[in-house]
Structure 1
Amino acid sequence: MKISLCTLFEGNYHFGVAALSNSLVTAGFSGVLWAGYRGALPAWLTESPAYDAATAIYQVSPGFQLRMVLLDTPMHFTYYKPTFLREVFEKHAPDTDLVAYIDPDIVVKCDWPSFCGWFTDDALSLAEDVNWAFPSRHPKRLLWNAFFTEHGISSIRPSERYYNAGFIGVPRQHLDFLVLWERLCHLVLGYNQGVKHLKAGGSATLFHSTDQDALNFALTAHEATLNTAGPDAMDFIAGGYYLSHAIGSPKPWNTPHVRKALGGQSPSVATKAYFEHVEGPIRIFSDAELKRHRLALRVASAIGRVYQRR
């Protein structure tokens, strides 16, 4: 099975793309990570002799390429995920069998042979969210079904789980799922009046988690088999070994580690995992910057061992 990967980024999320790329090299992945972006490209890429500006290809390792794709869309990238996945299938990698999207604040923790066992040609690959329990007759699910039914889309199967949209693997056989998810994202975008942020309103808002809510309804309106892992697969609970997802903000590359620890929040597992993948082959920080980050992490971790906010 030929597998292609993709991600989306803008602004300082390039720090995450670099660490994700490094983690894929460590895992042993061979292939392409298609990176859709908006704005200027970072210096670590444009100034590297491994980057070819004419082809927009960064040869990260002998078997792994990071390919940049400039995007022209006004919408928040969180709504653009199914569109970009579909574009990878149809335009950028038409010979691929499966495309997996990975958020740029995620790193891969395990070896690639173990990871790609998640992928099959007949199923979508997913991981449960930090708030994973979401009963099939939950009030919000009932409201979703009423909303989408008015637009000609109805749930055809129950779901008791809520999945994170930071990672999804889609085989070519289920390309139509991306068309469905994309349509739902546009409906949610219209409902949220073109919101420019990752979240809309408060937790009780009908579509608070935007593309993720659209994804979770799409999973009930499509017949595809699901290959799923629990919240541990993204380090949302202890015991995970597949991915580490630095949800929320600030992101690891922006976090004032000591100040947060003094406020009762010690460095997260995902923050520590991020800094395990910043030295190479893509160098994100200077030696001095990396030394400062690691010293701050050690101090913050020490504070966290004696002080936690209750």
Structure 2
Amino acid sequence: MAEFDTSRSAVCTLFEGHYHYGVGALVNSLYRHGFRGVVWVGYRGDLPPWARAARQTPAGYDLEVASGCVIRFLPVETNVFFANYKPHFMLDLWDHYGLEAERLFYFDPDIVIKCRWSFFEEWVDTGVALCLDGAYAHMPATHPFRRQWQAFAGRHGLQVQRCPDEYYNSGFVGVRREHRALLEAWRTLMEAVREEGINITSFKNFEGYNIGDRSHPFYVADQDMLNLSVMVTDVPLSVMGTDAMDFTGAGFTMSHAVDAPKPWKKNFLWLLLKRGRLPVLADAEFLKYIDGPIRLYSPLRLRLKRLNYLASKAVGTFYHRH
């Protein structure tokens, strides 16, 4: 296996089930934009079908993607829903798996990057890298959630250091080792959520706790607690807007496929004809990264997937004009 520098930057993500398609596209996008190093992938269940060449290691499995890039698969034994396990996994990489890199980036497995990898390293060197959320980018310092979060933090021994008026998406975060206090606060707060009786083993499904909609301050627990972790720490931040994840136009950094179904599950033409849903930018970006260096589909399925997308675009344009 090729030798490469592991001291600069590392990437991590978490997946189970069909999200392996997103992991493959993410890694392809990273490699094609210049990332070299280790992508640490926590998983439950089976390895992806495209990872049959992975070799077993004491910790899991390693797959050489291409020269200078390796995926390190780590089986994760937890009943916590993976969205709620992000800070635990990131800190475990430094504390229990011997991660050498000074910079650590987490990406959800439904994200691909769009620009040179070195930009992400430059970004995190100016502070913890975060992006504004597409739905709730603006959350004033006096928002009732923030007041409720402050009381919650106080009950668990954490004091608010600042009250921003921005709300951040938890699908991406970049942290330098020296700023790990944010991850430690995030992990503490996720454990505090569980201590207060909120079920964090599923997404927006809180049995025994009255969480029915966004009016609850813990409705999106991982994201809400990321935002509270910013409030209870004073590490420097470097924040990009809603464009950074392609929630609005003119984005150049990454594309986040937040809606369901995910791009790899979509029949684009059927969705257009039956539901009137056109493909979105995240679909187009996903399709750019499905054929290498990791091949996610057979040549026939790859061709059909792209033809299906192109047909939906053509039909959508026709109907729009008429």
Q: Which TM-score tier does this pair reach, normalised by the shorter chain?
A: over 0.9
User: What's the CA shift for 1:154?
Assistant: 2.7
Q: Which runs of 4+ in 1 moved over 6 A?
A: none
The answer as to whether partners of 2:181 and 2:235 remain within 8 angstroms in 1 is no
Counting matched residue pairs gives 304
**Aligned equivalent of 2:143:** 138
User: What's the CA shift for 1:160?
Assistant: 0.8
User: What's the CA shift for 1:158?
Assistant: 1.3
1:53 maps to which of 53, 56, 61:
56
Trace 1:146-185 onto structure 2 (pairs within 5 A): 146-185=151-190
C-alpha distance after superposition, 1:189-209 (max 9, x if no partner): 344632433235311122111
User: What's the CA shift for 1:148?
Assistant: 2.1
**Aligned equivalent of 1:102:** 107
**TM-score scaled by structure 2?**
0.90
Match of 1:294, SS state, is helix
Partner Cα distance (1:270, 1:217) in 2: 28
Confirm whether residue 64 of structure 1 aligns to residue 69 of structure 2: yes
Partner Cα distance (2:177, 2:239) in 1: 18
| Structure 1 residues 94 and 281: alpha-carbon distance in aligned structure 2, compared to 1, 3 A threshold | closer
Gaps of 5+ in 1: none
| Structure 1 residues 256 and 281: alpha-carbon distance in aligned structure 2, compared to 1, 3 A threshold | same
User: What's the CA shift for 1:164?
Assistant: 0.8
C-alpha distance after superposition, 1:127-154 (max 9, x if no partner): 1110211111112111211222222223
Partner Cα distance (2:29, 2:113) in 1: 5
User: What's the CA shift for 1:97?
Assistant: 0.8
**Aligned equivalent of 2:208:** none
C-alpha distance after superposition, 1:280-302 (max 9, x if no partner): 11110111111221111112222
Match of 1:133, SS state, is coil
Partner Cα distance (1:255, 1:192) in 2: 36
User: What's the CA shift for 1:115?
Assistant: 2.9
The answer as to whether partners of 2:84 and 2:200 remain within 8 angstroms in 1 is no
- Of residues 275-284 and 181-190 in structure 1, the stretch that sits farther from structure 2 once superposed is 181-190
Confirm whether residue 19 of structure 1 aligns to residue 31 of structure 2: no
1:265 maps to which of 259, 272, 277:
277
C-alpha distance after superposition, 1:61-115 (max 9, x if no partner): 1111111001111110111100110011122244221111111100011111233
The answer as to whether partners of 2:80 and 2:202 remain within 8 angstroms in 1 is no
Report sequence identity in percent.
36
Partner Cα distance (1:225, 1:217) in 2: 15
Given residue 37 of structure 1, which amino acid in structure 2 is its aligned partner? Y
Partner Cα distance (1:97, 1:116) in 2: 10
User: What's the CA shift for 1:220?
Assistant: 0.8
**Aligned equivalent of 2:232:** 221
Partner Cα distance (1:169, 1:188) in 2: 23
**Aligned equivalent of 1:5:** 11
Partner Cα distance (2:152, 2:124) in 1: 32
**Aligned equivalent of 1:232:** 243
Given residue 177 of structure 2, which amino acid in structure 1 is its aligned partner? R
The answer as to whether partners of 2:244 and 2:254 remain within 8 angstroms in 1 is yes
Partner Cα distance (1:30, 1:151) in 2: 40
Confirm whether residue 125 of structure 1 aligns to residue 129 of structure 2: yes
C-alpha distance after superposition, 1:219-252 (max 9, x if no partner): 0110001011111010000100101000121111
Given residue 207 of structure 1, which amino acid in structure 2 is its aligned partner? F
User: What's the CA shift for 1:38?
Assistant: 0.6
The answer as to whether partners of 1:89 and 1:99 remain within 8 angstroms in 2 is no
- Of residues 223-232 and 137-146 in structure 1, the stretch that sits farther from structure 2 once superposed is 137-146
C-alpha distance after superposition, 1:172-223 (max 9, x if no partner): 1122221110011112234463243323531112211110000001101100
Given residue 289 of structure 1, which amino acid in structure 2 is its aligned partner? R
User: What's the CA shift for 1:258?
Assistant: 1.5
Given residue 34 of structure 1, which amino acid in structure 2 is its aligned partner? W
The answer as to whether partners of 2:150 and 2:159 remain within 8 angstroms in 1 is yes
**Aligned equivalent of 1:286:** 298
Match of 1:69, SS state, is strand
C-alpha distance after superposition, 1:37-61 (max 9, x if no partner): 0111122102x3xx22346111111
The answer as to whether partners of 2:11 and 2:38 remain within 8 angstroms in 1 is yes
RMSD: 1.6
Confirm whether residue 242 of structure 1 aligns to residue 253 of structure 2: yes
Match of 2:297, SS state, is coil
Partner Cα distance (1:161, 1:306) in 2: 40
**Aligned equivalent of 2:4:** none
